[in-house]
């Protein structure tokens, strides 16, 4: 690989531990959020640590790591940039704040090692993005878990990294604190041109945040691609089970203040959701779970279901006993429906069949 490649993240390496080998070759978008997803022990954290330079490939393997136009490791050429010289931010499960320093002092600590000419993210910008302006004089011990993690993310951003590595940053938080931090994470790739590698084994986080998805299992990449595509691929385990679903990228089209509803447009048509505090034309990320989609051969009337989308069956696959997962295409937009085996037989579901997807519920992701 040449250093002239831009807006790509390349990582090729092997690690060998007793009873476990990590062998990956990644070629990822150099912008947006890429999630490394998989069960515990699949190699997600080891990937981050190797990209950061905290781990080295096994002897004899020609490892390569480049972030956009910067080569950090090229064993074939004898290049290895030490960790402290890599322009990266690292956020762990634990905030790891200096307990003897205030929030403001914690933010300033890492920033001092960045020459002024290389500072691309201002301290004020990092503080505003994470909504921590009112915490600057507080000590870490007085903060909630969600507040500490927001400070840790702001501290990483304040170093103006070329890439932000996040290792399950919400895993240690309870549900309310997790809900507190997620909207701030969603803002990062909208407002900053800094690629993020985000490690998680929580599907809800991946669906909400990730533009690109890398599936890892037992140290190997099983699939890599746009999140919306991988979530609906029936050959992957992620597209099965009660949590399976699709993510729609939509745009706010209109508001109905009387009925407290918002209509959004996406590739497959329009979809009505609970009223959103968003301007017309704003992007909207919507999750439709397979269990909330029913199928009908004819468009129904006299129904309480507001969202009925024309679609074509593209594939079917057995799910849990007595259940079938149905992959659908709505004008280029993938959807999933989880129906009973009996219903699949009654409707004579086969690839190529045109029908209607009735969406009973949606989740607004951002």
What tens digit of pLDDT does each residue of 50-59 get?
Answer: 999 998 877 6
Q: Are residues 225 and 261 in the same domain?
A: no
Q: 172-214, pLDDT tens digit by residue?
A: 888 888 888 888 888 877 788 889 999 998 888 999 999 999 9
* Confidence label for 111 from pLDDT (cuts 50, 70 and 90): confident
Q: Rounded to 10 degrees, what is the CA torsion of 306, 238, 227, 355? A: -40
Q: Are residues 33 and 153 in the same domain?
A: yes
Q: Are residues 296 and 167 in the same domain?
A: no
Residue 209's contacts (CB-CB under 8 Å, 6 or more residues apart) are: 33, 35, 182, 185, 186, 198
Q: What interhelical angle do 123-130 and 175-191 show, nearest 10?
A: 140
Q: Are residues 296 and 213 in the same domain?
A: no
* pLDDT value at 33 more than 60: yes
CA atoms 284, 290, 296, 302: torsion sign: negative
Question: Which one has a higher pLDDT value, 67 or 6?
Answer: 67
* pLDDT value at 103 more than 80: yes
Structural domain containing residue 340:
245-364
Give me the number of domains the chain comprises. 2
**Boundary of a domain, candidates 200, 230, 260:** 230
* pLDDT value at 353 more than 80: yes
Rounded distance, CA 122 to CA 33, Å?
A: 21
Residue 85's contacts (CB-CB under 8 Å, 6 or more residues apart) are: none
CATH classification at residue 89 = 3.40.50.300
Structure confidence at residue 125 (pLDDT)? 87
**In a domain? residue 353:** yes
Its pTM stands at 0.89
Cα 211 to the chain's mean position, in Å?
A: 6
Rounded distance, CA 36 to CA 22, Å?
A: 14
Q: Are residues 222 and 279 in the same domain?
A: no
Q: 254 has which bridge partners?
A: 263
Q: Are residues 353 and 270 in the same domain?
A: yes
Q: Are residues 15 and 122 in the same domain?
A: yes
Among 115-124, 130-139, 250-259, 278-287, which is the least confidently predicted range?
A: 115-124
Q: 256-311, pLDDT tens digit by residue?
A: 999 999 999 999 999 999 999 999 999 999 999 999 999 999 999 999 999 999 99
* pLDDT value at 255 more than 80: yes
Q: Largest Cα–Cα distance in the chain?
A: 70
Q: Are residues 304 and 221 in the same domain?
A: no
Of 86, 125, 336, 343, whose CA–CA distance to 233 is shortest? Answer: 336
Is residue 251 within 8 Å of 238, Cβ to Cβ? Answer: no
**In a domain? residue 2:** no
Rounded distance, CA 350 to CA 299, Å?
A: 18
Residue 255's contacts (CB-CB under 8 Å, 6 or more residues apart) are: 261, 262, 263, 275, 276, 280
**In a domain? residue 235:** no
Structure confidence at residue 5 (pLDDT)? 44
**Boundary of a domain, candidates 207, 230, 253:** 230
**In a domain? residue 1:** no
Q: Are residues 35 and 154 in the same domain?
A: yes
Q: Rounded to 10 degrees, what is the CA torsion of 268, 272, 275, 279? A: 30
Q: What interhelical angle do 145-157 and 123-130 show, nearest 10?
A: 150
**Total Cβ atoms within 10 A of residue 187:** 15
Is residue 265 within 8 Å of 331, Cβ to Cβ? Answer: no
**In a domain? residue 239:** no
Rounded distance, CA 188 to CA 222, Å?
A: 27
**In a domain? residue 236:** no
Q: Are residues 78 and 175 in the same domain?
A: yes
Q: Are residues 121 and 270 in the same domain?
A: no
Cα angle 240, 311, 296; round to 5: 85
Region 51-80: what's the mean pLDDT? 89
**In a domain? residue 3:** no
* pLDDT value at 2 more than 70: no
CATH classification at residue 281 = 2.40.50.100
**In a domain? residue 182:** yes
Is residue 151 within 8 Å of 130, Cβ to Cβ? Answer: yes
**Boundary of a domain, candidates 230, 263, 290:** 230
Q: Are residues 13 and 132 in the same domain?
A: yes
């Amino acid at each position: 690989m040449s250093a002239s490649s831009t807006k790509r993240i390349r990582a090729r390496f092997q690690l060998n531990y007793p009873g476990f080998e990590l062998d990956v070759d990644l070629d990822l978008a150099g912008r947006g959020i890429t999630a490394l997803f998989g069960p515990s022990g699949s190699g997600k954290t080891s990937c981050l640590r190797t990209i950061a330079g905290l781990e080295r490939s096994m002897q004899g393997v020609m490892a390569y790591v480049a972030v956009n136009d910067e080569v950090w490791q090229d064993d074939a050429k004898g290049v290895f940039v030490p960790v402290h010289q890599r322009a990266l931010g690292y956020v762990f499960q634990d905030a790891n704040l200096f307990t003897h320093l205030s929030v403001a002092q914690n933010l300033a600590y890492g920033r001092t090692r960045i020459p002024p000419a290389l500072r691309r993210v201002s301290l004020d910008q990092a503080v505003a993005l994470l909504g921590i302006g009112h915490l600057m004089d507080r000590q870490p011990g007085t903060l909630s878990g969600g507040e500490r993690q927001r400070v840790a993310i702001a501290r990483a951003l304040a170093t103006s990294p070329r890439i932000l590595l996040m290792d399950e940053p919400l895993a240690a938080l309870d549900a309310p604190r997790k809900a507190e931090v997620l909207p701030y994470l969603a803002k990062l790739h909208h407002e900053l041109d800094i690629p993020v590698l985000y490690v998680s084994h929580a599907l809800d986080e991946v669906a909400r945040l990730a533009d690109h998805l890398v599936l890892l299992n037992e140290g190997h990449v099983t699939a890599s691609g746009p999140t919306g595509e991988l979530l609906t691929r029936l050959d992957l385990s992620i597209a099965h089970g009660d949590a399976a679903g699709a993510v729609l990228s939509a745009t706010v089209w209109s508001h109905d203040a009387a009925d407290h509803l918002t209509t959004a447009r996406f590739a497959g048509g329009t979809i009505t959701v609970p009223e959103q505090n968003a301007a017309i034309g704003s992007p909207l990320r919507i999750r439709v779970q397979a269990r909330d989609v029913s199928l009908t051969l004819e468009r129904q009337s006299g129904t309480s279901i507001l969202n009925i989308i024309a679609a074509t069956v593209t594939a079917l696959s057995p799910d849990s006993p007595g259940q079938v997962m149905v992959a659908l295409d709505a004008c280029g937009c993938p959807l999933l429906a989880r129906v009973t085996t009996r219903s699949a037989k009654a409707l004579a579901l086969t690839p190529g069949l045109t029908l209607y997807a009735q969406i009973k519920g949606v989740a607004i992701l951002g």
